[in-house]
Amino acid sequence: MNNNQIGQLSALAICLGALAGCGGGSDNNLNQAVAANASEDSGQVKASGTVNTDGAQQGQGSGSGNETENDNNNNNSVDDEQTKYSQRGRVIDGYVSGATVWLDLNNNGQHDSDEPSAQSLDKGSYILELTESQRQCSVYVPTYVDVPVGAIDEDLGEVTEAYQLVLPPSLTAIDDDRMAAHVTPLTTVLWQSLSESDTFKGKSCAELQQNPGTLSELLSILRQTTNEVVAHYNISEQQLFSDYIANQDEQVKQLAERIVFGLKASLKKRLALAEQYPEALEIRVVHYQKKTESELRWYRDIAVFGKDDRTFFSETAQMDDALENVVFVEYLRNTTYQPWGNLGQYSEEVDLVKENAGDIGRCVYREGIAVTLDGITYTLSNTLDRTPESESQSCDWLQDFSARDARLLSITYGSELVNKYTQLEQRDGMLGALREWHSLADKHTVLDPAELANYFDQSGYELERTLNLPAFSWYKRSTDDSGDNRVEVERFADHEWRKTSYNSDGTYTRLCSEDGASWQSCPAN
């Protein structure tokens, strides 16, 4: 685990950082009962991809003869008075029959009663009957497949461990009502990246339809993620969304089997964590492979979120080849939250970081507060970095933050459509101001948030102004959603400006500047 990972606000870089061999994950927002056999309400194993635009006849086989039976298995059949639309495709690990396919219209990760669903039949074929409005929404939201114990994999036989597959939204206009929408382990890997984007997470169809700026950025994220997966696995985009069984593509088939191996292990661990943390709001588990030195090894990421953000636990561990035992914990983070009087929120965070199994590791401690005054949010956090005296010594919280190594300050301001943010890091020799802002847990009665606000007022924190506070590094950003498409302007401590203008088709234009006024093409990396 490198220093950049230590500094991340979240330790769980689900598959975007782990695309060095994503294996599969489980992610459930635990507002529903967890069942050991995990049928229609099984744990949420998230992944992402785009709808394949190959014709629906590709690899149809005998699946096309089961439309009447499939219609009868729909939980939400379209009335005769409504215009009928459909989404067709296959559930593929091997071809899987007996799975529940459903469209997550509100993007909450749960199969709600008003969301259309169908059973997969022979050769994994399914048909989702949709109303016109549901069909329009289908390009904005994911399609889930719950594979229960007892479903049939035509290659491996009866399924003995439940798992879930996901097809991400295409985020593009519907050109053909009959296009094939295959749901596979590879589309599931893609969803893991897209679903954790702050821009997309929890956004319903209606929200995305009403915000074209957000949609253009999401399409760009989806394109980028697709390219990363294609490059990593050395497969084409066509292979990524294909019926690899009908195409007799042994390379992709073996890759999919390896991913499902991780998906099953992730769901099993998530169910165990759900029993261990019954009050958890959300639990995520991802197994993936990455190369260490000359070997490809399995890793597992875990994140547990408590209600009201009061607790947070995350872990990255190297696993054995059976995904049963931890070889060593590479990264462990524990975070707790509590009110800071009536003024804001206080947090404590402890990281244990190891480079390898024989490393004693490092303990990184952070305390922080966040307060909002007149619509502007201010944060301050102090950091200590310590090395344990022995491997048996734990990273306990009893630390003196008056001896802090560094301090991070930020301000978030602007409006709903134009959001602005500035962050700066201060180190030794730069901590003279706000001298008493340490050991913060019980200081809400003696520290005045106005002092923190005043520190920023004359600092030049605005995007266009020069920062006049002492800083080891700083960063400024403006995100403008007031137009048809998002425009993001960033300014860095090394004097570089960068402007990213997103287009409606998901592409973007990036320009660079030294003064924020004269823009030209950015130099090649």
Examine the pLDDT at 212 and tell me if it is beyond 90: no
Backbone angles phi, psi at 11, to 5 degrees: -80, -15
pLDDT band at 309 (very low <50, low <70, confident <90, very high): low
- 501: which DSSP letter? E
Q: Mean pLDDT lowest for which of 21-35, 78-92, 487-501?
A: 21-35
Residue range 95-111: mean pLDDT, rounded? 93
Residue among 296, 360, 374 at smallest CA distance from 328 = 360
Q: Which residue has the tokens 């003064």?
A: 515
Q: Which residue has the tokens 């969301």?
A: 115
CA–CA separation, 256 vs 156, rounded Å? 13
Examine the pLDDT at 185 and tell me if it is beyond 60: yes
Examine the pLDDT at 294 and tell me if it is beyond 60: yes
In this prediction, residue 149 carries a pLDDT of: 94
pLDDT band at 91 (very low <50, low <70, confident <90, very high): very high
Examine the pLDDT at 51 and tell me if it is beyond 50: no
CA–CA separation, 180 vs 125, rounded Å? 10
The more confident residue out of 239 and 174 is: 239
The more confident residue out of 78 and 399 is: 399
SS3 120: coil
Summarised one tens digit per residue, pLDDT across range 409-463 is 999 999 989 999 999 999 988 999 999 999 999 999 999 999 999 999 889 999 9
Q: Which residue has the tokens 């635009």?
A: 53
- Residue 367 carries which side chain, given as an amino acid letter? E
Residue range 24-45: mean pLDDT, rounded? 35
pLDDT band at 41 (very low <50, low <70, confident <90, very high): very low
Within 8 A by CB and 6+ apart from 148, the residues are: 37, 38, 39, 40, 42, 98, 99, 100, 159, 162
CA–CA separation, 195 vs 217, rounded Å? 13
Residue among 180, 344, 195, 326 at smallest CA distance from 246 = 180
In this prediction, residue 310 carries a pLDDT of: 62
State how far the alpha carbon of 507 is from the alpha carbons of 68, 145, 207, 470, in Å: 41, 30, 21, 38
pLDDT band at 15 (very low <50, low <70, confident <90, very high): very low
Mean pLDDT (the chain) is: 80
Summarised one tens digit per residue, pLDDT across range 359-396 is 889 999 999 999 999 999 999 999 999 988 777 677 87
How many percent of the chain have pLDDT more than 70?
A: 80
Instruction: Count how many residues are written for the chain.
Output: 525
Q: Mean pLDDT lowest for which of 152-166, 180-194, 325-339?
A: 180-194
Cross-strand bridge partners of residue 295: 292
- 79: which DSSP letter? P
In this prediction, residue 219 carries a pLDDT of: 80
The more confident residue out of 205 and 498 is: 498
Residue range 503-521: mean pLDDT, rounded? 88
Label residue 471 exposed, middle or buried (CB < 10 Å: 0-12, 13-18, 19+): middle
The more confident residue out of 11 and 351 is: 351
CA–CA separation, 326 vs 304, rounded Å? 18
Examine the pLDDT at 308 and tell me if it is beyond 80: no
